[in-house]
Structure 1
Amino acid sequence: MRHRSFGKAAAFLVSTMALMAAAPSLADPVRYDVMANGETVGWLVVDRDGQEVAIDYHVDNNGRGPKHREEVTLDADAYPVSWTIKGTSLFGAAIDESFVREGHTVRWVSQADRGEMPVSQGRLYVANDASPYSLALYANALKQAEGQAADAVPGGRISLAAVQDVALDGGRLTGTVYRLTGLNLAPGYVVLDQAGELLGDLGGVIRADLAADAPRLQQLRSELETRRIRDIQARHAQRFDAPVRLRNVRVFDPETGQLSPLSEVTVFENRITTILPESGGAARADAYEIDGQGGTLVPGLHDMHAHNSIQSSLNYLMAGVTSTRDMGNDNARLLQLTQQIEDGELPGPRIVRSGMLEGRSPYSVRTGIVADTLDEAFEALRWYADRGYWQVKIYNSLHPEWVAPVAAEAKRLGMGVTGHVPAFVTPDQALAAGYDEISHINQLMLGWLLEEGEDSRTPLRLTGMARGATLDMDSDRVQRTIEAMAAGNMALDVTAVTLETLMMSRAGEVPPMAAAFIDHMPIGYQRYRRRAFVDINTPEADAAYRGGFAKILETIKRLHDRGITLLPGTDDTLGLTVHREIELFTLAGLTPAEALKAATLTPEVYMGRDENLGRVARGALADFFLIPGDPTQDINAIRNIRLVMKDGVAYQPPHIYPEMGIKPFAEPVVITPPTQKPDGSDSETPSALFGPEGLDGHHHYH
């Protein structure tokens, strides 16, 4: 690290000596392991001398990861006085971030923004590209702040709460778990010792000598988040003991692409029971009443490329996404989460599970199951099949010669086959070997853009998409693949929004994918999105990426016109990006109604569930959402969600979003309770209108 200053004030030396006594040899660098799925994928080395902290952060997971160095100077209250970060971000974009406090002013420059403000408005800088060690820095500053909360630079407010103590190293060491809120959509968790030194976080970073405790800390995060979101569920999920009649609504029919005349839709328990023309009559005494005010009921949306988590489950419901297909996860956690949602313990979408299968290589992703031999791959397939996984998802490092036997064994076991196209395999070869679909439009198009021998396990699978600007869509190479997909009735899991995020984001600018909702988000999310993800440092590179993305949209339209099934997905956890994926389908040339069908009914037909899901119809499961406006005329109308119903349970995003740090997009509905008890006698509840708080301040309509 840079030159150490040993001539500090006596008070500061006393503080430093106390820290050194409580933490492992702070005179020497402290190493932390970065872990994923039980394997070490990087390191975090902290070299601290009093106020001076140098951090080396390096992650290499799935062929990518941030790699940078930080230097921080702290004041006597543990607030940063200066902070520099230099290196590369997740996909290789250059980082050159700095913050400095001089006198009564703070100044900063990052990928996202630059500016200055008076110290009186905030002095706790929240870095844009910091390592996980930043959580320890924030926590130590907030421990001394009034109310353990402080205004942040460049905006927002961060708060700290001690959650619980945790024993580590076989009980020989005790740490305290702290929760930080206000940084982003989900809280951050950090474990500190008594001197405030980092022992680990709950996301996979842990001091190297404590690595054996990493799985337990990650499980603790799951438990804490389960507790937090279970509480939101208890306060906001609205269950009904009588029919629910939604009046004055139009119903979107994905088969015809049309809206119905004004109608009344009744739900009882978890099914849609009647759909009738709007009567305009008086409210029913035996039903809960919701006036839709001329809005539209849309069948629940799908994210066909999800990686579900406890946090994402609530995000999805608030965005009207009532079903997801999980495309690779920590299998134990996914099985647990699925059960918790099905039991009603946690809010969340219906989850269809696809099991990720990866081969061993220096580029292996650590999600799902990594196989070292073909026999291990077969064993993984049996594990997935025995637990009801719908598909296997093949990943980048599966050995080319294994693709055909893996696909054949998966189908023998009753599972479908999807995935990335492994390195040194072409999409045509993967389809011929037994794929039913391909995950990600770039995985399809790379077959037209890469040369033989180029390695798609590296970031080339993303950066290579810039070559698409000059792609001839009428070439034999392209047409051969499209015709093979059409002949084999194969599908594409598109995830166009993921490619847009990577190819169209520019440092300091609001990316197109987030333009419609970024102002509603917490400051940490806003800054994270105003950044580049790949290195675009010349006008030529900028033009190539823009041209490449335009060719992605053209490919979507070509595939659609050829009758190939397009499945919208995000590879994200936000929920709101599903809306942008649907919007991108319209920018590619599909009508709004066609794009909505792709996100509602088409996935259910593809997965064989369309008898019960994918449409608002008598007898179907009650999965839908209510919006003002007509989405067949303006696809952006799907963002303004007032009410979501999943399996007959209602949620009002306008009331829940503020608890997530998000500004609502629409007004809530008003629910009128029945004036008659389920047995036909008069209810003691007055017939006056009431909102989601109910008359007793709770959300329990039993």
Structure 2
Amino acid sequence: MTAPTVLRAARWADVDEEEIRCPAVIVVEGDRIVAVNPAEVPAGAHEIDLGDLTLLPGLMDMELNFLIGGPETPTGLPLPMHGVQDDPAYRTIRATLNARKTLLAGFTTVRNLGLMVKTGGYLLDVALQRAIDQGWVEGPRIIPAGHAVTPYGGHLDPTVFQRLAPGVMPLSIGEGIANGVGEVRACVRYQIRHGAKVIKVSASGGVMSHSTGPGSQQYSDEELAAIADEAHRAGIRVAAHAVGDRAVRACIRAGIDCIEHGFLASDETIAMMVEHGTFLVSTTYLTDAMDIERAAPELRKKAAEVFPRARSMLPKAVAAGVKIACGTDAPAVPHGDNAKELIALVERGMTPVQALRAATVTSAELIELDHELGRLREGCLADVIAVPGDPFRDITVTRDVRFVMKDGRVHKGAESSIGTPICLR
């Protein structure tokens, strides 16, 4: 039987009570936290003394795609010919490097939100999730979406990113191309049958594709309702790429659980999100930092029109009380730079505590694992990271992750005693 592990540090972050507490003594058995600051620690436990660091719950990124970007590809989007250059096997092997880099950055849980490449019907993110769960490769816990459900010519249709000619990349319903109520139901069923744990739908145009305008609604109200119904009957939540105001409203009416981006949402639509309890994954940092210099002129023009409006939308959503979860849309933000989203959330009006809650408890609620993740609490899974200083005052310290534990296994920084413990409060 494996001995318990005792983590010691100067401080730990209580994200529920919004307090930095001193000292930190966390007892881990197997994959669970069994005690926080107990009167006594188990005899014979393996102790890891991290010194003058602050323990946090593992962070979460609710929108990324490990199957694009990373080594051998340029930083950011658009990725040249990303849909056709690499075969599925090579793409999946490269994704293992993206996953490991993200884990070591302190992000222990992610949603891989929608394949938009040709795979022959294989769900590469499900395969990656299984390999990580088996311990074959290092990476975060993955909630995979399989293929994004998109109409022909929709924003997440792989053929529209490079304006491919007809017939160059034939795609199936299993690969996400679905038109009409019957086909979208079949497409959702296919993703769930082969391991998807969330459904991603392209509900509006986007910025970095040669599709319809970013504000346009791409699926009808009836199709969106069918997608939500099919997923919900299987106990699966739905996330919608929705930039335009009309599309966001249609998604809310259809009962879709989460809006990705929501860049052009009006004040009335923001209020509607609050009323319905719809989550928002705002992916706001990419509007500052996404490299679009290689994009076609018409795509740069869309970005110039949409990104400033997106930056002004988010403070309104924060003030209104929308449930905002953390997501980067990596590789729009390079894999491993995920914490820059937290910094951007603070720049848009969140407090550091609110930003950390977006990346912990709110994200855990979105994936319906808030009883197991997002907190340093007895009974929760042992996802623990460590940073210097006080992240409740200075969110930038989340870019300096010194220690990572996921499911009770140490992946980074088990060296003993780093500095002299100091209680900051």
Instruction: Work out whether the TM-score is over 0.5.
Output: yes
- Match of residue 86 from structure 2: none
The answer to whether 1:321 aligns with 2:107 is: yes
The C-alpha deviation readout for 1:384-438, integer Å capped at 9, x for no partner, is 2334533322114754252233333333333323212398953223322332221
Q: What displacement does 1:669 show?
A: 4.5
- Which stretches in structure 1 are left out of the alignment for 5+ residues? 1-239, 448-477, 507-530, 653-667, 673-688, 690-702
The equivalences for 1:180-191 within 5 A come to none
1:436/1:490 contact within 8 Å kept: yes
Q: Which residue of 2 aligns with 1:389?
A: 196
TM-score by length of 2: 0.74
1:370 partner SS: coil
- RMSD of equivalent CA atoms: 3.2
Q: What's the counterpart of residue 410 of structure 1?
A: 231
Q: Per-residue CA shift, 1:170-195, capped at 9, x if unaligned?
A: xxxxxxxxxxxxxxxxxxxxxxxxxx
CA pair 404-620 structure 1, distance change in 2 beyond 3 A: closer
2:279 alignment counterpart? 491
> 1:637: which partner in 2?
397
Mapped contact 2:14–2:21 kept (Cα < 8 A): yes
Amino acid at match of 1:333: L
Cα separation, 1, equivalents of 2:195 and 2:306: 38
Match of 2:150 among 358, 365, 376: 358
Change (3 A) 1:276 1:434: closer
Conservation of the 8 A alpha-carbon contact between 2:318 and 2:349: no
For residue 271 of structure 1, what is the aligned residue in structure 2? Answer: 32
Question: How far off its partner does 1:255 sit?
Answer: 1.2
Residue 288 of structure 1 deviates from its aligned partner by 2.3
Determine which of 339, 356, 371 is the counterpart of 2:178.
Answer: 371
- Partners of 2:186 and 2:306 lie apart in 1 by 40
CA deviations 1:529-578 (Å, max 9, x no partner) are xx565759x9xx8xx94x96555344222212222111111111544332
The residue that corresponds to 1:241 in the other structure is 2
Q: Deviations over 1:56-99 (max 9, x none)?
A: xxxxxxxxxxxxxxxxxxxxxxxxxxxxxxxxxxxxxxxxxxxx
SS at match of 2:379: coil
Checking the alignment, whether the CA contact within 8 Å between 1:258 and 1:593 is kept in structure 2 is no
Query: Does residue 312 of the first structure (1) align with residue 104 of the second (2)?
Result: no
What is the aligned partner in structure 2 of residue 610 from structure 1?
370
Aligned residue in 1 for 2:127: 336
Q: Secondary structure at the match of 1:359?
A: coil
Judging changes above 3 Å, is the alpha-carbon distance between structure 1 residues 263 and 421 closer, same or farther for their aligned structure 2 residues?
Answer: closer
Are the aligned partners of 1:441 and 1:495 in contact in 2 as well (CA < 8 Å)?
Answer: no
The answer (yes or no) to whether the contact 1:567–1:599 under 8 Å persists in 2 is yes
Report matched runs for 1:220-259 at 5 Å: 241-259=2-20
The within-5 A match list for 1:51-130 is none
- SS of 1:375's equivalent in the other structure is helix
**How many angstroms apart in 2 are the aligned matches of 1:364 and 1:599?**
25
- Mapped to 2, the partners of 1:576 and 1:482 lie a distance apart of 30
- Give me the whole-angstrom Cα distance separating, in 2, the residues matched to 1:617 and 1:534: 49
Aligned to 2:258: 437
TM-score, length-scaled by structure 1: 0.46
Which residue is equivalent to 2:347?
587
| 3-state SS, counterpart of residue 157 of structure 2 | coil
Give per-residue Cα distances to partners, 1:128-171, cap 9 Å, x unaligned.
Answer: xxxxxxxxxxxxxxxxxxxxxxxxxxxxxxxxxxxxxxxxxxxx
Tell me, in whole angstroms, the C-alpha distance in 2 between the residues paired with 1:389 and 1:671: 40
Of the candidates 270, 277, 285, which is equivalent to residue 482 of structure 1?
Answer: 270
What letter corresponds to residue 618 of structure 1 in structure 2? Answer: E
- Tell me which amino acid in the other structure corresponds to 2:319: D
Q: Structure 1 residues 304 and 432, CA, compared in 2 at 3 Å: closer, same or farther?
A: same
- Say if 1:409 and 1:266 are closer, same or farther in 2 by CA, change over 3 A: closer
Distance 1:423 1:630, change over 3 A: closer
Shift of 1:323: 0.2
- Cα–Cα, structure 1 residues 274 and 425, in superposed 2: closer, same or farther, change >3 Å? closer
The answer to whether the Cα contact below 8 Å between 1:497 and 1:577 also exists between their aligned partners in 2 is no
- 1:582 deviates by 0.5
Give the deviation of 1:671 after TM superposition: 4.3
Give the Å deviation of 1:271.
1.3
Contact kept in structure 2, 1:354 and 1:393, CA below 8 Å:
yes
**1:623 alignment partner in structure 2:** 383
In the aligned structure 1, how far is the partner of 2:269 from the partner of 2:226?
Answer: 22
Q: Per-residue deviation at 1:352? A: 1.1
Q: Does the CA-based 8 Å contact 2:125-2:145 persist in structure 1? A: no
Does the C-alpha gap of structure 1 residues 562 and 363 become closer, same or farther in structure 2, counting only changes over 3 Å?
Answer: closer
Note the 1:502-513 alignment, pairs <5 A.
Answer: 502=290
Inter-CA distance 248–429: structure 2 relative to 1 (3 Å threshold):
closer
By how many angstroms is 1:364 displaced? 5.6
Alpha-carbon separation, structure 1, partners of 2:386 and 2:243: 41
Q: CA deviation at 1:480?
A: 1.7
Aligned length: 352
- Structure 2 unaligned spans of 5+: 67-94, 159-170, 206-217, 419-425
Q: 4+ residue stretches of structure 1 with deviation over 6 A? A: none
Distance in 2 separating the partners of 1:284 and 1:417: 43
Secondary structure of the equivalent of 1:495? coil
CA contact (8 A) 1:319 1:639 kept: yes
CA contact (8 A) 2:242 2:262 kept: no
Report if aligned partners of 2:385, 2:405 keep a CA contact under 8 Å in 1.
yes
The residue aligned with 2:415 is 670
- The answer on 1:567 being equivalent to 2:325 is yes
Residue 311 of structure 1 deviates from its aligned partner by 2.0
Give the secondary-structure state (helix, strand or coil) at the position aligned to 2:381.
coil
Any idea what SS the aligned residue of 1:273 has? strand
CA separation of 1:338 and 1:532: change in aligned 2, threshold 3 A: same
Q: Secondary structure at the match of 1:259?
A: strand
- Residue aligning to 1:659: none
Higher share in strand = 1
**Alpha carbons of structure 1 residues 583 and 534: separation in structure 2 relative to 1, 3 Å:** farther
